Amino acid sequence: MTVATPLPSGAMKFGVTADGVAAVTYAGEVFAGRPVGVPECGDPRKRALVEARVGEYFAGRRRELELPIDWRFASGPQLAVLRCLLTEVAYGRTITYGELATRSGVFEELSEPGIPARTVGQMMGANPLPLLVPCHRVVAADGLGGFGGAWHGVEVKRWLLTLEGVLPPTLDWSGPAD
C-alpha cells in the first residue's frame, strides 16, 4: 500500500501482512532488490490503521507509530540492533552509530575501533522498516551521517529530525502535514 507523505522523497510504500508491517520503502525504492511486494493483508482495518498512524505522525500529532511489526526481513545481529533502536531511542532523541553498537551488545567480541559503528551504519542502510524502526535517529559522531542510498536520503533524514525537534527548521522547511 502507498501512503502519501510530505517528505522530500514523496510517498512511502508499506508491505503489510496479517502479522504487521513487514517492509517500508521510500518512493521508487526497492527492498531486497525488488519493489515492496510482501503479501498484502486483506484486512481493511489494518491498512486503515497504518494510513491513520502515519498521517498522524507527519501531522505532528503522534510521536510513535505503535504499529505491529512483522520482522521477517531482519534476523541475527541486525534484528538485535533494530530492536535496541526501537526500544531505546525515543522521538526527539538521537544516538550515534557507535553508541547504538555498544548499547545493542552485539559487538562485544570486536576489538577493532570503528568496525561496530560502520557495521551499524550498514545495518541502518538495510533497515527493512524505516520510520517504524527509526533509523533516522542514528547519527554520526561528527554530524548527521548518511541515510539510504537515494538522492533524497540525507534530506529525508534532515526533514524527519526537524519534525521531531532535533534540528531547527530552516526557512524552506515544509513543516508537518495537516
Distance CA 24, CA 131 (A): 8
Helices (H), 89-148: 97-104, 115-125
CA dihedral 169, 28, 140, 160 (to 10 degrees): 30
| 68 neighbors 21 (Cβ within 8 angstroms) | yes
* CA atoms in the 13 A half-sphere facing the CB of 89: 28
- Annotated active-site residue 41? The verdict is no
The sign of the dihedral angle between the CA atoms of 6, 61, 2, 146 is positive
Q: Which of 131, 120, 124 is nearest to 159 (CA)?
A: 131
Distance CA 153, CA 64 (A): 21
Catalytic residue among 135, 156, 160, 161: 135
Distance CA 83, CA 61 (A): 24
Residues belonging to the active site: 135
